[in-house]
């Protein structure tokens, strides 16, 4: 993995444009900022083209959308394609709510995403695999997560990140797995959304190798969380989320290389 993409983010400070989930937007903005990129958010369709024009990558989060926002997401996805900007989709809760799955699929019929990042329940839904998702959580199922991720990647012609205790990253053929992480990520609601936007930041500096960018983003994020969790004596979700911001800013390529576990 090209862990030094992290340095490239810090050197070039790419603007990452987000359609955000209002639940987690502040953490996502601060996470993008902490790792060295520059966040911008938009809620108004009239500024879509200008916004995409000044950005180096676009992240679309389906966390709590309204119908007007779906129109905005559609316009932004199309503009990202037109401007050749990398496009990341986070399909929040499509595993639990059929309406969301339907919206996500309709959107992806109208623009081409480069990376999808979701938990097992969400990726299974997008691959049409039976899975017992639970609200915004992954839930449980007995299919192999690598096969699910590959099926979703082949169906949607993009890189898929199925994140969890082990992150699975695939372009439909090749597979990478990241074994770093911490159970504390599950205790902080914004973790997945933050990872999706950080994936966009890595895509922005990846010379269009989104499979590489996706793997590296997962490794950097998971390893940073593991470093933070390792300093805590107890499971402290509040302290974890605060120190995760600190460490996203402070962590070095060498820190990550020291503990990286992937194949």
- Residues belonging to the binding site are 41, 117, 163, 190
Instruction: Quote the CA–CA distance of 93 and 123 in Å, as a whole number.
Output: 10
Contacts of 192 (CB under 8 A, 6+ apart): 90, 92, 117, 118, 119, 163
Q: Residues in contact with a copy of itself, total (CB under 8 A)? A: 61
Are the C-beta atoms of 153 and 115 separated by less than 8 Å? no
Closer residue to a copy of itself in complex, CB, 85/150 = 85
Q: Which stretch binds a copy of itself (CB under 8 A): 4-12, 25-33, 155-163, 209-217?
A: 25-33
Which residue lies nearer to a copy of itself by CB, 44 or 263?
44
Task: Give the footprint of a copy of itself on residues 47-106 (CB under 8 A).
Answer: 47, 50-51, 54-55, 63-69, 93, 96-100
Q: Which residues fall within 8 angstroms of residue 62, CB to CB, at 6 or more apart?
A: 21, 73, 89, 90, 91, 92, 93, 94, 100, 103, 104
Among the listed residues 34, 59, 149, 195, the single contact to a copy of itself using CB under 8 A: 34
Among residues 66, 13, 42, 69, which one has the least CA distance to residue 249? 13
Scan residues 230-259 and list those touching a copy of itself (CB under 8 A): 234-239, 241-246, 249-250
Site string for a copy of itself, 119-138 (x = CB under 8 A): ---------------xxxx-
What is the rounded CA–CA span in Å between residue 14 and residue 6?
A: 12
Residue among 39, 91, 172, 181 that touches a copy of itself (CB under 8 A): 39
197 binds a copy of itself (CB under 8 A): no
> What whole-number distance in Å separates Cα of residue 32 and Cα of residue 219?
16
Task: Output the known binding site for ATP.
Answer: 117, 163
Among 2, 12, 41, 146, binds a copy of itself (CB under 8 A): 41
Q: Which two tokens stand for residue 53?
A: 């024009």
Chain positions contacting a copy of itself, by CB under 8 A: 13, 15, 20, 22-27, 29-30, 33-34, 38-44, 46-47, 50-51, 54-55, 63-69, 93, 96-100, 134-137, 187-190, 234-239, 241-246, 249-250
């Amino acid at each position: 993995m090209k862990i030094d993409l992290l340095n490239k983010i810090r050197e070039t400070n790419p603007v990452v444009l987000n359609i955000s989930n209002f639940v987690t937007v502040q953490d996502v903005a601060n996470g993008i900022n902490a790792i060295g990129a520059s966040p911008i958010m938009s809620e108004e369709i009239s500024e879509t083209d200008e916004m995409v024009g000044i950005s180096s990558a676009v992240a679309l989060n389906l966390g709590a959308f309204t119908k007007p926002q779906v129109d905005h997401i559609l316009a932004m996805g199309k503009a990202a394609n037109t401007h050749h900007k990398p496009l990341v989709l986070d399909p929040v809760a499509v595993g639990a709510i059929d309406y969301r799955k339907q919206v996500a699929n309709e959107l992806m019929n109208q623009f081409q995403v480069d990376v999808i990042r979701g938990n097992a329940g969400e990726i299974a839904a997008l691959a049409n695999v039976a899975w017992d998702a639970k609200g915004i959580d992954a839930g449980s199922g007995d299919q192999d997560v690598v096969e699910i991720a590959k099926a979703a990647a082949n169906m949607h012609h993009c890189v898929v990140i199925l994140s969890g205790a082990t992150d699975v990253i695939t372009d439909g053929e090749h597979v990478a797995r990241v074994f770093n992480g911490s159970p504390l990520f599950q205790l902080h609601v914004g973790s997945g959304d933050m990872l999706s936007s950080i994936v966009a930041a890595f895509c922005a500096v990846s010379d269009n190798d989104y499979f590489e960018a996706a793997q590296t983003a997962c490794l950097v994020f998971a390893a940073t969380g593991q470093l933070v969790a390792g300093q805590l004596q107890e499971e402290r979700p509040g302290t974890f989320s605060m120190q995760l911001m600190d460490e996203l800013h402070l962590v070095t390529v060498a820190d990550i290389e020291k503990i990286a576990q992937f194949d």
